[in-house]
Structure 1
Amino acid sequence: MLAIIGTVGVPACYGGFETLVDNLLDESEVEKNITVYCSGESYDSKIKSFKNAKLHYIPLNANGAQSIPYDIWSLCHAVFKGSDNILLLGVSGAICLPFIRLFSKVRIVTNIDGLEWKRAKWNGLIKKFLKFSEKLAVRYSDVVVADNAAIADYVKQEYRIDAEIIAYGGDHAIVKSLAASDQDYALALCRIEPENNVELILESFSKTNKTLKFIGNWDNSEFGRAMKAKYQQFENIDIVDPIYDIETLFDIRQKCSFYVHGHSAGGTNPSLVEMMHFGKAIFAFDCNYNRASTENSAQFFVNSAELVALINAPSAVENAANMKEIAERRYTWKIVKDQYFRLFK
């Protein structure tokens, strides 16, 4: 029996981990006996099963301050119910793993996510807690999963543990046949946070004539609202509210000239590997995570001057072909699913 813990739940309605779980499940695989733990606060309709997995609801939010008791409650319930395997996504609840190890031999596979404690949005106390949770997760898990080679290198250096490298699939973003199309705009898509180099991207396009469609949750933070107010005055910058419909996103992605990826933290980013399947050139912020994800085959920038140069004079044909080849070789859900299920008893 496998318990999957640490997400908002399924059907996927939130982010990368939820999409991962959604794609690990299969309607035809009744014999796998999987339970997915879900946030009761996030689903008005609490269905009992999804893709032949049982759903168990915890009456807490999966994110924010309640994420720690949410994960701990889920872990303890899964052990009490006799789970043979636990897939723990993220490290918030890892503080209870030493306690679980006192009375259970359940096999625990933990995806430590993207070094959450390094993110600029957390204050010092939260960073220390997340770093401590990461340490416990690595020590008390049977297998540690890193979604990026750069994170695996960090785990090896920091804890002297070899992590399994398993990324994310992106082929679910291709919902129709691809057609060669270029409507002469660049595309960026992310959570609107400083660490995603949102301002660097906007500033760069404000110095060019190239149209940018930038999709994100602009109204969810003071930073996002400030960026929106400052840059929506530029005629070539189209500030777009979040889009969750996958067919609408498919059309927007398919018609862009190139994709700009500003993430500077977090490992393998789902929006990047999804975009790689479209065979478009990718201009990525130069950090070890993005270089590992794209096998050094994207085009990279570290400041506005370098990004402006790429926008004005892109040499994108080889870049685009490389992105699609890498995506089909490494970032499909069939590959990811096989890698995960090889880790369980």
Structure 2
Amino acid sequence: MRIAILGTVGVPGRYGGFETLAENLVRYHKRTGHRSALTVWCSAKDNCEHPVHFESADLRYVDLRANGAQSIPYDVISLWQAVRSGHDRILLLGVSGALALPLFRLISQSRVITNIDGIEWKREKWKGLARLVLRASEWAAVHFSHEVIADNQAIADHVRETYGFNCHVIAYGGDHALDHIGKAEVPAGLPPHFALALCRIEPENNVDLILEAFDELDTPLVFVGNWDNNAYSRDLKARYSGRPNLHLVDPIYESGALHALRRRASVYLHGHSAGGTNPSLVEMMHFGVPIITHGCAFNRNSTEGQAYYFKTAAELADRLRRLNPEDAAQIGAKMREIAKRRYTWERIGEAYFQLLERN
């Protein structure tokens, strides 16, 4: 069997959730000695170096960016190359290239399994034509893939209610966050313990709401994100950077520093209200830290209703004031138990390869 993984920047993962997924599927493939041949398609534009192998996978490159406007031709070209090179199974991560699937189903016998990601067209950042294209792409992915993967039961419910199709629900692993290399150091000037938030600075992640809540409190907050990315993030940075209890930190990618930061967190704030099972949430659950998260269906499903939830700044401030040490310990222990049961790469890898091996 020849398996192709498409739709990511490439491996090893340096960008986001799909790249981390692809990397850990490759590692599972090698660790288990899986007999299939595995190829991962990568962006030549987004990778400075172009190795031809990673662990047990061959790497192929397309000379386009994997995200933004180029993601559609990037995925379509990757699909074409995977079909032309005789791959039996194609794992498509995301729906960018899905509008081409009806044609590929006509000319190819390859079996296509698509992870449709979150409900992308509902995200705040997409407007007009982009939203229409994403919605059409979701429709095509559901109707013309042989199998569809949702990373959260709430997304599977959406697919069933909207299209009348059932999905396989496979989440993400998070236990890799417990491993780290390099020096376990955090940026200078931070308090010994703090509330932690870690995300892209976008409206759908309710960053403004979290900062508003902490503006009423003395509790120190370390918020890591891309603060200079857009007008929304720059405005928030300008408005809140002078507060003594708010530490707005630029993105941190080094695994040792991230590990140290998470270890020093006394509570984790998760404001995501769109998407599905969020990788940063399941990673943090492995640290056994109490979690206060936006109360959308996705997050309630990921945490099995055992976290604290909020939808307004006032609710968040109230949850923080009422979080006593005993409750914090109980919530943290429950988060770790759920993570060990549901969000390990051994479990996720096994589920993906069982689905890829189906006839």
Q: TM-score range, shorter-chain basis?
A: over 0.9
Q: Does 1:227 align with 2:236?
A: yes
**Structure 2 matches for 1:1-345, cutoff 5 A?**
1-26=2-27, 27-28=30-31, 29=33, 31-175=35-179, 183-314=192-323, 315-345=327-357
State the Cα distance separating 1:30 from its structure 2 match: 6.7
For the 8 Å contact 1:204–1:304, the answer to whether it is kept is yes
Paired AA for residue 332 in structure 2: A
Q: Secondary structure at the match of 1:220?
A: coil
Q: Secondary structure at the match of 2:356?
A: coil
State the Cα distance separating 1:57 from its structure 2 match: 0.3
User: For the residues of structure 1 that align with 2:240 and 2:152, how far apart are their CA atoms?
Assistant: 33
For the 8 Å contact 1:113–1:147, the answer to whether it is kept is yes
User: For the residues of structure 1 that align with 2:356 and 2:202, how far apart are their CA atoms?
Assistant: 36
Paired AA for residue 354 in structure 2: R
Paired AA for residue 63 in structure 1: N
Paired AA for residue 48 in structure 2: D
Deviations 1:28-60 (A, max 9, x none): 537321110000001121100001100000000
State the Cα distance separating 1:125 from its structure 2 match: 1.1
Count of residue correspondences: 342
User: For the residues of structure 2 that align with 1:30 and 1:336, how far apart are their CA atoms?
Assistant: 15
| Superposed CA RMSD | 1.5
% identity of equivalent residues: 52
Q: Secondary structure at the match of 1:300?
A: strand
Q: Secondary structure at the match of 2:282?
A: helix
Paired AA for residue 272 in structure 1: L
Q: Secondary structure at the match of 1:316?
A: helix
- Show structure 1 runs of 5+ residues with no match: 177-181
Deviations 1:288-339 (A, max 9, x none): 0000000000000110111111112213222111100000000000000000
- Show structure 2 runs of 5+ residues with no match: 181-190
Q: Secondary structure at the match of 2:107?
A: coil
Q: Secondary structure at the match of 2:35?
A: helix
User: For the residues of structure 2 that align with 1:242 and 1:61, how far apart are their CA atoms?
Assistant: 21
User: For the residues of structure 2 that align with 1:142 and 1:289, how far apart are their CA atoms?
Assistant: 25
User: For the residues of structure 2 that align with 1:19 and 1:344, how far apart are their CA atoms?
Assistant: 18
State the Cα distance separating 1:344 from its structure 2 match: 1.4
Matched residue, 1:179: none
User: For the residues of structure 2 that align with 1:160 and 1:110, how far apart are their CA atoms?
Assistant: 17
